[in-house]
């Protein structure tokens, strides 16, 4: 039997946009794309206001746990926006 490893998108709230005021809105919820290499450098891969994913310092965000149903709705909403 083949095992499928699914990477789940997480969410984070921007708590500091001082160096990226155009790309990040303060206190906005953003999708986080899993990226192990970025994590090693204390960065997060975020889909920002441009609709593209970029690396930002992890300390600019507060990771949040969202119930599965709400996360699925948010993922659908983000997909429609893309």
Phi, psi at 46, each rounded to 5°: -115, 140
Number of domain units in the chain:
1
In a domain, 5, yes or no: no
| pTM of the model as a whole | 0.78
Domain of 51, in residue numbers: 10-81
Residue 39 lies in a domain: yes
Largest separation between any pair of C-alpha atoms in the chain = 49
Measured between alpha carbons, how far is 50 from 59 in angstroms, rounded to an integer? Answer: 20
CB atoms within 10 A of CB 34: 13
pLDDT tens-digit readout, 5-32: 344 558 999 999 999 999 999 999 999 9
Does the residue 35 lie in any domain?
yes
Helices and strands (H, E) in the chain, number of each type: 2, 5
C-beta neighbour count of 60 within 10 angstroms: 21
CATH of the domain at 22: 2.30.30
pLDDT tens-digit map of 42-62: 999 999 989 899 999 999 999
Whether 52 is covered by a domain: the verdict is: yes
């Amino acid at each position: 039997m083949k095992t499928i490893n699914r990477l789940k998108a997480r969410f984070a709230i921007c708590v500091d946009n001082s160096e990226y005021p155009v790309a990040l809105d303060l206190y906005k919820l953003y999708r986080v794309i899993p990226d192990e290499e970025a994590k090693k450098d204390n960065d997060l891969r975020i889909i920002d206001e441009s609709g593209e994913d970029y690396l930002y310092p992890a300390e600019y965000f507060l990771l949040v746990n969202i119930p599965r149903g709400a996360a699925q709705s948010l993922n659908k909403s983000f997909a429609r926006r893309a």
